[in-house]
Amino acid sequence: MVKLTGLKKIKTAVFISGTGSNLKNLVKFSKIKNSPISIDLIFSNTSKAKGLKFSNQFNIKKYVSSFKNYKVAETKILNVLNKENIKFICLAGFMKILSKNFIKKFNGKIVNIHPSLLPKYKGLDTHVKAIQNKDKVAGCTVHFVTAKLDSGKIILQREVKILKKDNPISLAKKVLRQEHKLYPSAIKKIFN
Ligand code: GRF
């Protein structure tokens, strides 16, 4: 794992596919004096990702490459990551699966936020599943990324109560609010 050396922040890329609320939150966190990371690159597999607007807003470089041919896309990204001297990657609502080869190149330096209390509910529709199963608690997890989907070592989790009145949409909102607290805490935990 990369260690925080001196006062230099670790150059970080955030990978997104959608709204980017976690990205925005991580950028704000990165600007705090004792944050271990700086956000230096935003990557998306689609130019439709709303979160790309934060590139202009916060003056952060962005790079978009479709994953139609993932090998080509990953080679391009790796070039950009090397060029920008990126040492750490945060996946935040990134809807593509990275190859074994890519993960190996950034071994132990890629983390993801997932909207469930892993190991429960890997993959999609976590909130629907939690409600269908009549769970009493839901939550979110930050974990290291390995070749096996949503299965890497857990760094930190936060729970929320599921109330009778909750539906997948209300639950997603509640969990997202916790995600915004969890991601910075997990990053601090990694580098402290
Ligand atoms: C979050 O719920 C995250 O856990 C999941 O995708 C959603 C992304 O939200 N992987 P945002 O784009 O950060 O707003």
pTM of the model: 0.95
User: What pLDDT digit, counting tens, does each position of 133-159 carry?
Assistant: 999 999 999 999 999 999 999 999 999
User: What is the C-alpha to C-alpha distance for residues 19 and 84, in angstroms, rounded to an integer?
Assistant: 24
In this predicted structure, the answer to whether residue 52 has a pLDDT above a threshold of 80 is yes
In this predicted structure, the answer to whether residue 162 has a pLDDT above a threshold of 90 is yes
Please tell me the total number of residues recorded for the chain in this structure.
192
Give the contacts of 133 (CB within 8 A, at least 6 positions apart): none
Is the CB–ligand 1 distance for residue 184 below 6 Å?
no
Is the CB–ligand 1 distance for residue 114 below 6 Å?
yes
Determine whether 114 is an active site residue: yes
Span from the CA of 6 to the centroid of ligand 1 (angstroms): 32
User: What pLDDT digit, counting tens, does each position of 28-40 carry?
Assistant: 999 999 999 999 9
Distance spanning both ends of the chain, measured CA to CA:
11
Output the pLDDT for position 7. 67
Helix/strand number for the chain, H first, E second: 6, 7
Which residue has the least CA distance to atom 2 on ligand 1?
115
Mean pLDDT score, 59-71:
97
Which residue has the least CA distance to atom 5 on ligand 1?
93
In this predicted structure, the answer to whether residue 4 has a pLDDT above a threshold of 60 is no
Span from the CA of 92 to the centroid of ligand 1 (angstroms): 6
Place of tokens 């040492």: 87
